[in-house]
Amino acid sequence: MKMMELSGNQFSGHLPSTIGLSLQNLEELYLGDNTLTGVIPSSITNASILTIISMGPIFLTGVVPNFASIGNFSISLQVFRAFGCHIKGAIPDEIGNLSSLADLYIDSNHLTGFIPRTLGN
């Protein structure tokens, strides 16, 4: 499977903790406009050829992922959308490691701290 479009439904509950384990060939993931909650599972890093992650708006309770822990995305990830997701905390400096990132949508969250100097690398 190359694309999974689940937006605009009435899915609820947490994102499955194994979402990336069985979707290693996934290139595009769309989860927005649902009532999903919880955190972005770290297993998503196993889907190392993801080019688009779009999950806004949904109700996440975690922080922006530490992009050091998703180093698999440093070449492939081009679009990261997590707008209106209630994400809190700071944008990690490691966001600069995402060398192919062209679009970053993390507006309408509860972010704090500084905009990293690495942003735009």
pTM metric for this prediction: 0.84
Domain assignment of residue 65, yes or no: yes
Contact 17, 43 (CB under 8 A): yes
| The two three-digit tokens of residue 12, written as one number | 């609820």
Contact 82, 64 (CB under 8 A): yes
> How confident is the model over 55-82, as pLDDT tens digits?
888 877 766 665 545 556 667 889 989 8
Domain assignment of residue 120, yes or no: no
Domain assignment of residue 76, yes or no: yes
Cβ neighbours for 19, distance < 8 A, ≥ 6 positions apart: 41, 43, 44, 47
- Structural domain containing residue 103: 3-111
Cβ neighbours for 110, distance < 8 A, ≥ 6 positions apart: 86, 87, 88
Distance CA 25, CA 61 (A): 27
Domain assignment of residue 78, yes or no: yes
Domain assignment of residue 23, yes or no: yes
Total domain count for the chain? Answer: 1
CATH of the domain at 82: 3.80.10.10
Higher per-residue pLDDT: 31 or 120: 31
Please check the confidence at residue 120 and state whether its pLDDT lies above 80: no
